[in-house]
Structure 1
Amino acid sequence: MPESDTLNSERLSTDIEQELLEKLRSLPSEKVLQVLDFIEFLWLRNRDAALVHAASRSSEASFGRIWDNPLDAEYDQL
């Protein structure tokens, strides 16, 4: 990524962060708790997806030894 893109991305991130903070500060406390709950939901979903992806990658070599054989090649044709 070119340096100018990185700087623009950082500036955009800072602008978004500032806007989020301003809006968050204007909410009543019960709404802030709902926002926090939603953020935690998104964070967990993202973390879970990353764990599934990592588990899939780590098992590829093991399954590759099982699946890469002449007998299994017949199923690849289906």
Structure 2
Amino acid sequence: MKSSHKEFYIIAEIDQQKKHIKVIGLETSDGVPYYSCLLGEDEISQVRKETYGGWEQLWGDLSHEAVAQIGEEIEKQVTPT
């Protein structure tokens, strides 16, 4: 099992403002990936891609639109080209 966490930055719109978000890739004890999203030092959300293909927020109070956009940006970073 990999213990290293992938970290990268994305830009996504939250509350009608583009924000630089630090994303840390993590996984549950059974290997399911999820992502911690931080603004500065503050964690604002945790998201994961569900089996049906959509992105869901595990923790936080972002809008569905913000979660979907963050998910799109995460996919661009983690999907091999």
Structure 1 length as normaliser, TM-score? 0.31
The answer to which structure, 1 or 2, has the higher relative contact order (CA under 8 A, 6+ apart) is 2
Structure ranking higher in helix proportion: 1
TM-score, scaled to structure 2: 0.30
